[in-house]
Amino acid sequence: MTTLLTARDLSVSFRYGSTTSQVVRGVSLDIPEKSVFAVLGESGSGKTMLARTLIGLEPPGAIVDGTVEFAGVPVRPGKPAARRRLLGREIGLVSQDPAASLDAMRTVGAQLAEVLRRHEGLDRRARRAEAVRRLEQVHIRHPEQVVRRYPAELSGGMRQRVSIALALCGRPRLLIADEPSSALDAIVGARVIDLLDELRSTTGTSIVLITHDIAVATRIAGEPGDRAAVMLHGRFVEYGPATEVLHRPRHPYTASLLAGEPSAAIPRGQLATVPPGLRDADWGPLQPVSDDHWICEEAV
């Protein structure tokens, strides 16, 4: 299977006066074509910073070490113009809040048409027809009406679908989905995740899914070649095939996260929690537990 994106020893730090804080610590990963890579972690684990740094969108002031390559071409440091061409054309981004990618002052159709003009070079009539088709692709009902509406006139689920349609306009080979369902209710969120899974199957787009929700990860990452990683304090504590990490974890922290996942099968009052010692332990570098599965062991 062809590798689409690789990162080696990627670290991100910030300086505050004489103090340096490291928020991503020596992460290495490989993302194959037509696959899902799920990155799980609690709030503050560094997963969103990792996702944005992979595509050169880290915040100003970030100190980045390590290498990232997309299809064999370095992403970092890279020239700004080259990164802009990469984003949208090769890599799409769907954020937790659709407001981050939608312009409240422009109609849905105008925003889709602008992205299509930039990437496809279509004339006005063709752009409008293609905008409608792109909304149909993400299963928005009555797309001919929706193209004339403003984001504020749409539900949260519809706005997120429009964001996905915008991210797909350049026909990207990789889609970064950063908590795409966390701002939605459970039913609408599940539909958005199912849509991403369907688009992976129909378009061949690889997906990096950033989530704190294990149920979301297991809903989409289960095919051969799909991978998962669990982050804690900026580093991977477990990394391997998604089916193994999410169903047969080898690291005690991952096992605790899975045990704490709500389920109708768990009697009321018996929901597990992560022991503080697992969060605070000094975990060392990843070590192989099989040919394709790694975990951190506690440093001595």
Do 179 and 262 sit in the same domain of this protein? yes
Helices (H) and strands (E) in the chain, counts: 11, 12
Query: CA–CA separation, 34 vs 72, rounded Å?
Result: 16
What are residue 6's phi and psi, to 5 degrees?
-130, 145
What is the predicted pLDDT for the residue at 262? 59
Q: Is the peptide bond before 267 cis (omega within 30 degrees of 0)?
A: no
Is residue 188 exposed (0-12), middle (13-18) or buried (19+ Cβ within 10 Å)?
middle
Q: How crowded is residue 61: how many other Cβ atoms within 10 Å of its Cβ?
A: 9
Query: CA–CA separation, 177 vs 209, rounded Å?
Result: 5
What is the predicted pLDDT for the residue at 275? 78
What DSSP designation does 99 have? G
Query: CA–CA separation, 243 vs 223, rounded Å?
Result: 8
Do 112 and 244 sit in the same domain of this protein? no
Do 177 and 288 sit in the same domain of this protein? yes
Query: CA–CA separation, 70 vs 78, rounded Å?
Result: 11
Number of domains in the chain: 2
What is the predicted pLDDT for the residue at 268? 47
What the block records as the tokens of 119 is: 């990437």
Range of the domain at 135: 93-171
Do 183 and 125 sit in the same domain of this protein? no
What the block records as the tokens of 50 is: 């990792």
Do 42 and 177 sit in the same domain of this protein? yes
Dihedral, 238, 208, 192, 44 alpha carbons, nearest 10: 60
Query: CA–CA separation, 136 vs 195, rounded Å?
Result: 12
Do 213 and 243 sit in the same domain of this protein? yes
What is the predicted pLDDT for the residue at 247? 92
Q: How crowded is residue 69: how many other Cβ atoms within 10 Å of its Cβ?
A: 15
| Residue 256 identity | S
Do 141 and 40 sit in the same domain of this protein? no
Do 189 and 284 sit in the same domain of this protein? yes
Q: Is the distance from CB of 33 to CB of 2 less than 8 angstroms?
A: yes
What is the predicted pLDDT for the residue at 264? 41
Identify which of 104, 109, 145 has the alpha carbon closest to the alpha carbon of residue 130. 109
Mean pLDDT by 10 residues, the chain (300 residues): 91 92 95 94 92 90 93 73 73 85 92 87 86 93 95 92 91 92 85 91 93 91 94 95 94 87 49 73 88 81
What the block records as the tokens of 198 is: 């369907």
Do 275 and 141 sit in the same domain of this protein? no
Identify which of 197, 194, 172, 174 has the alpha carbon closest to the alpha carbon of residue 184. 194
150, 171, 192 — which closes off a domain?
171
Q: Is residue 210 classed as helix, strand or coil in its secondary structure?
A: strand
171, 192, 215 — which closes off a domain?
171
Query: CA–CA separation, 105 vs 207, rounded Å?
Result: 29
pTM: 0.89
Question: Is residue 260 assigned to a domain?
Answer: yes
H/E stretch holding 53 reads: helix 47-54
Q: Is residue 295 classed as helix, strand or coil in its secondary structure?
A: strand
What is the predicted pLDDT for the residue at 289? 93
